[in-house]
Amino acid sequence: MGQKEKEILDRGNWSGRLDFILSCIGFSVGLGNVWRFPYLCYRNGGGAFLIPYAIMLVIAGIPLYFFELSFGQFASQGPITVWTVSPFFMGVGWAMVLISAMVCTYYNVIIMYSVYYMMVSFVNMDGDLPWQHCDHEWASDLCREEPYPKFDSMTNETDKIKSAMELKHTNCLTSLLANLSESFSVNYTTYNDLNSSILIQNTTSCDKDLKLPSAEYFERYVLRLHEANGFGDFGGVSLKLVICLLLTWVVIFFCLMKGIKSSGKVVYFTATFPYIVLIILLIRGLTLEGFEKGIEFYMIPDWQKLKDPK
């Protein structure tokens, strides 16, 4: 047996062509498609974001992906030892390992949250989920279950004012009275003199930072951020999150303990399941109220965002 054949046997071999193809698909579609890409698309002008994304995908993404794939298949070595072909680029291999270590660390934290929420969902299958309502100890005064008021559908001025006032800081409104009086040439003595139109359109700086119970549950119960005294305060250890993180790493260990022999079988699930989830999320999104606004935002690009890259 030659040295080359021995190295391949030591590293393991793909059981079949389908294992390799599904592994490539699994590495291409992951958390970023569900978690990061929609956020970046929303933040950078909807459909307009696809133009620079497609350009960088063609110029950098696909060529680098193909180069790494073909180089690894040809040499059958790891990201560090493969660069013995040119020791000058050995640092590239170390950088790839360090980046992979950092990415898998914080990706596993996200998976840990998913595992935790999945467990809580199973425990509360017969009742309401804990992040559906604000009547919990962890909820703050800014927790709000009701959606943002639809002022356009309200015909009663009193109802509009009442709904708008629930969203405002009264002290802030008082401080704006002088400026509002000057702008509208009306002497406003108290915020009760303001009509609904002014409250809704001209006092946005006084809006309360209201949060849904789902956001408060994550920040105040799961992460307990309100107990921290600053960025440097790491706080205590959450036993429930430690158990979920440990479970995550145990699953990863069993998936990778035999190299591509075991991971090649796992990808039959991990490579196809994300597509199923994406289809489910698409169907769910299309059944939500106001879905047409999201489609409109995506299909009608904001070209000005391309001039303000972030």
Taking the C-alpha atoms of residue 24 and residue 248, their distance in angstroms, rounded to an integer, is 22
How far apart, in Å, are the Cα atoms of 127 and each of 16, 120, 130, 166, 284? Answer: 46, 11, 9, 29, 21
DSSP string, 222-265: IS-GGG--STT------HHHHHHHHHHHHHHHHHHTTTHHHHHH
Find the farthest-apart pair of alpha carbons in the chain and give their distance in angstroms, rounded.
Answer: 95
Residue 151 · residue 167 · CB < 8 Å: no
CB 266 within 8 A of CB 255: yes
Count other Cβ atoms within 10 Å, centred on residue 83: 20
Is residue 26 part of an annotated ligand binding site? yes
Structure-derived torsion over alpha carbons of residues 193, 198, 204, 208, reported in degrees to the nearest 10: 40
Binding-site residues: 26, 29, 33
Binding-site residues for Na(+): 26, 29, 33
